[in-house]
Amino acid sequence: MSMDLFGEVRRLVSMEEAARRYGFEPDRQRKIRCPFHEDSHPSLQLYQNGRGWWCYVCDQGGSVIDFVSRLFSIGPREAALKLNGDFSLGLAAGPARRLEARARQHAAYRRRQREQAFESAYLERQREFIDLRQELFMLPRGGRAGELLGRLDELEHWFRENPWR
């Protein structure tokens, strides 16, 4: 990735365009509520000519790439690539494509981890459900049976809300 991509992204995408793209509506003074701190009044200034921004409360600022990087908690390279893709600039080069492929692989890995965690939780609750049912049918009516029935209802509700695939 060369500095040309960063420069071209900064040249082609204004701060105001990026702010609007990512859900912020600048007021007449070109200010938005800062997404980096609790902000009840717009304190982040968007600059037209310099294509940058400055938050008077955070006392921080930067380019459109810096803004996207902080907004999405990604590195500057990923931010430049995101802007490149989101605004269809067509600037990605070979190394950028490798970076995008790595990001897709990482996303698939994270998705598999989440699925495995869900499957583990599902199976654990399923075992608990079976154990509770067995214990419930061994108990005489009343007493602990009411407590077990309540937990059984909770688990049945969880299964309805979280179907297996």
Write down the domain spans for the chain.
3-92, 103-161
pLDDT (average), residues 137-161: 77
Residue 20 has pLDDT above 50, yes or no: yes
What is the percent of the chain with per-residue pLDDT over 90, rounded to a whole number? 37
Give the model's pLDDT for residue 158.
83
Q: The pTM is what?
A: 0.55
Residue 160 has pLDDT above 60, yes or no: yes
Report the C-alpha gap between 21 and 69 in whole angstroms.
Answer: 14
Phi, psi (deg, nearest 5) at residue 80 = -60, -40
Residue 97 has pLDDT above 70, yes or no: no
The continuous run of DSSP H or E covering 46 comes out as strand 44-46
Give the model's pLDDT for residue 1.
43
What is the percent of the chain with per-residue pLDDT over 70, rounded to a whole number? 87
Mean pLDDT of the residues in the chain: 84
pLDDT band at 87 (very low <50, low <70, confident <90, very high): confident
Measured CA distances, 148 to 39, 121, 132, 140, 142 (Å): 47, 20, 7, 12, 10
pLDDT band at 152 (very low <50, low <70, confident <90, very high): confident
Q: What is the CATH number of domain 3-92?
A: 3.90.580.10
Per-residue model confidence as pLDDT tens digits over 24-49 = 999 999 999 999 999 889 999 999 87
pLDDT (average), residues 100-116: 84
Residue 137 has pLDDT above 80, yes or no: no
Report the C-alpha gap between 5 and 98 in whole angstroms.
Answer: 15
Give the model's pLDDT for residue 165.
59
